[in-house]
Structure 1
């Protein structure tokens, strides 16, 4: 019961913080909507798409980038949630959390679950807006995509936690966010299929192929069309386990990178 109480308290704290920061919700939707409604209009003519799984026919470019934009929401929100940990550490409230009589891995997992839940709500809000512009999937796809969003959200949130474990100041985290977010997003299949990247550079194609964000996007893409991408699921789970282990190690005062700061 103590563990569940701590989980409920952390989730409630994150929910209240999110409710009180309405601009955060708006910003999370503005970014993908700009890509969907503005950039896609210009890229549509420049980027031709072939029939590739999970699609059974030719699709519009707007339809193709929707899973990538869902991943963008998860990525940005995971980083912003971890940014709050850096802020809490500077303000001192982080010490109250980490000195609770509970394992640190459980406290970090609770934080991760809370941020992932908020990210998923934002993704569904984005999908609802996209549907208003006739960018839809089968009704069952909105249900089957939920497990994919959970796995992808946990992986990207764990990445943010791992980064926050060794960043001292809030200003430094903002720079690291840009250093991580943009390469992960652009070197992936979020905006263009991997075969398109291979036409330009085999090296870039290989980098995209091992990028965990690529597999998170493909997991979401296939799930939206009620299909499973086993390799992407495995790769995403492995990345989530790796990032989670790094975050737990980083927040361990005996071995981690925060031993002098937390």
Structure 2
């Protein structure tokens, strides 16, 4: 067990050091949601009227509505960023050293996933702190209650990034795959607008949003921030986490097609 614990501390510590040395990564992670919060929300405020929907007990501003979605955005982009670092490590050769260690490969990848999730959650709380400075404040206990939801959502999106990295052979191909995955997941979700609002435009799009795992991750965070529990969102997010993680571990296994293509 000491070997497992040592590897966990080492890999998570390496992720933390990489994050500390890449300050622009932290800034970029906060700039994206802040642009949506302070710029786009101002334009959408009048265009999107919001009714009283759970977990809200009264009418809310559009800025308040999109904060959980922007928390999900941070988790989503950081999950993809962590997969980018995996591809970089593979091209530099450090990934090969990691995967040939005596410890099980699945444990090393889980440690990588846990490290990336921890960094993502720190970025989310930094964003929530900045949002509070602009007057968008959640219930005090909501910040604590949101932690388990952020962990589950972060693991799901990190596992998705891990899965993508197992099948991308070259760093140059990553940008296209990122755009193909990130933007549809983000825009076809409840991050920026409620599903009932989407149904007014297209029932088909509403249904697509309803089966999007990112939608359930956002709703899980939204309800937790307001001290409410969404069992359906939790169930679908956990299910997606298990599926993505299992597929990623298979992709990195010697039998996985991702490994065979790279020889």
Fold match, TM over 0.5? yes
Please tell me whether residue 19 in structure 1 is matched to residue 17 in structure 2: no
> Are 1:69 and 1:190, in contact at CA under 8 Å, matched by a contact in 2?
yes
Long gaps (5+) in structure 1:
none
Deviations 1:172-211 (A, max 9, x none): 1111011100000000000000000001101100000000
The residue that corresponds to 1:116 in the other structure is 117
> Are 1:218 and 1:229, in contact at CA under 8 Å, matched by a contact in 2?
yes
> Are 1:105 and 1:248, in contact at CA under 8 Å, matched by a contact in 2?
yes
> Are 1:251 and 1:259, in contact at CA under 8 Å, matched by a contact in 2?
no
d(CA) in 1 for partners of 2:69 and 2:261?
Answer: 38
Please tell me whether residue 144 in structure 1 is matched to residue 145 in structure 2: yes
The residue that corresponds to 2:262 in the other structure is 261
Q: What is the CA distance between 1:104 and its match in structure 2?
A: 1.0
d(CA) in 2 for partners of 1:37 and 1:173?
Answer: 29
Deviations 1:127-170 (A, max 9, x none): 00000011001110000000000000000000000000010001
Q: What is the CA distance between 1:256 and its match in structure 2?
A: 3.6
Q: What is the CA distance between 1:89 and its match in structure 2?
A: 0.7
Q: Which runs of 4+ in 1 moved over 4 A?
A: none
> Are 1:253 and 1:260, in contact at CA under 8 Å, matched by a contact in 2?
no
d(CA) in 1 for partners of 2:38 and 2:75?
Answer: 19
Q: What is the CA distance between 1:260 and its match in structure 2?
A: 4.3
The residue that corresponds to 1:167 in the other structure is 168
SS at match of 1:181: helix
> Are 1:71 and 1:217, in contact at CA under 8 Å, matched by a contact in 2?
yes
The residue that corresponds to 1:211 in the other structure is 212
Equivalent residues in 2 for 1:156-235, closer than 5 Å: 156-235=157-236
TM-score between both structures, scaled by the size of structure 2: 0.98
The residue that corresponds to 2:31 in the other structure is 30
d(CA) in 1 for partners of 2:102 and 2:197?
Answer: 52
d(CA) in 2 for partners of 1:22 and 1:209?
Answer: 36
The residue that corresponds to 2:55 in the other structure is 54
Deviations 1:194-252 (A, max 9, x none): 00000110110000000000000000000000111000000000000000001000001
SS at match of 2:101: coil
The residue that corresponds to 1:131 in the other structure is 132
Deviation larger for 22-31 or 85-94:
85-94
Long gaps (5+) in structure 2:
none
d(CA) in 2 for partners of 1:104 and 1:174?
Answer: 26
d(CA) in 1 for partners of 2:258 and 2:112?
Answer: 19
Paired residues in the alignment total: 262
Q: Alignment RMSD, CA only?
A: 0.8
